[in-house]
Amino acid sequence: MHTSLFLDENVKAAMRKGLRIVGDVHGDLQAFRHAVATDRFIIQLGDLVDYGPDSAGVLRLMHDVMREGRGLFLIGNHDRKLGRALLGKKLRPDPPLEATMAQLHQPENADVLEFALDMLEPAPAWLVLGRMLFVHGAFDVRMLMEPPPPALGRVTFLLSRALFGETTSRVQKDGFPERCLNWVNHIPTGYTVYCGHDQRSTNGCPLTIPGRAGGQAIFTDTGAGKGGHLAWLDVPANFMEDSGSAV
């Protein structure tokens, strides 16, 4: 089975204090400051940027958390679009991305513009810790056995699943692709998948959905930067023993 070998010993030691799993931030810097104010190791599930008031500030704060060795983030579809834009790739018109790029080109954010691409390029698309899997969009069982591909490169099936979820061929009334949750039924017994991307909660709290194969998915996107708020979950320090993790 694939394990997350890219984690160095300092990161593994920091994780032994427990985890804080943070959902989609979307530029909500004030809320993100509260989320990272903890001794626990931060795992942010992607979509740091776009929509909210201060995507540049969120990138700066996540960069600081990583530099201090107390957190990491997974690439989300909005983060990937930003990385592709910074690489000079031609992209379709996207007002939220354009607003984020405008922020990065403000003089006060010159530092963020300088490190943003180096921060986004190595971001993993998923992370496996024992019987926990962390991903932005959705799960596929092959993620338990294969390392994530380069996030800003060619979109493979697994990278597409990780970034965009499980999509149908239909488009919703809002113009976005229709997404389904069949993937939840393929999570193996005893496994928990923590994800963002899909704002499925109806009460503002992370939503747990059990699957038919015995696993479960926990959806953490509660609308930060889009009129909602930022959600996070704490995993206790003994998660290594409980999940069978080798960290």
Q: State the pLDDT at residue 14.
A: 80
Place of tokens 């113009």: 175
pLDDT digit string (tens) for 198-218?
888 888 889 999 999 999 999
- Worst-scoring range by mean pLDDT, 55-64, 86-95, 101-110, 174-183? 174-183
Q: State the pLDDT at residue 241.
A: 60
Positive or negative torsion for Cα 106, 112, 116, 118: positive
Contact 125, 148 (CB under 8 A): yes
pLDDT digit string (tens) for 51-99?
999 999 999 999 999 999 999 999 999 999 999 999 998 888 889 999 9
Place of tokens 């998660």: 239
Q: 9-238 in CATH: which number?
A: 3.60.21.10
* Most confident region among 55-59, 126-130, 194-198 by mean pLDDT: 55-59
Confidence grade of residue 177 (pLDDT, cut at 50, 70, 90): low
- Worst-scoring range by mean pLDDT, 7-16, 53-62, 126-135, 236-245? 236-245
> What whole-number distance in Å separates Cα of residue 237 and Cα of residue 235?
7
pTM of the prediction? 0.91
Q: List the one residue out of 115, 105, 136 whose CA is nearest residue 67.
A: 115
Which amino acid, residue 83?
Answer: G
Domain boundaries, the chain: 9-238
Instruction: Give me the helices (H) in 21-169, please.
Output: 29-35, 55-67, 77-86, 95-104, 110-120, 157-164
Task: Report the chain's mean pLDDT, rounded to a whole number.
Answer: 90
> What whole-number distance in Å separates Cα of residue 124 and Cα of residue 60?
18
> What whole-number distance in Å separates Cα of residue 136 and Cα of residue 177?
16
Q: Is 165 helix (H, G, I), strand (E, B) or coil?
A: coil
> What whole-number distance in Å separates Cα of residue 131 and Cα of residue 143?
12
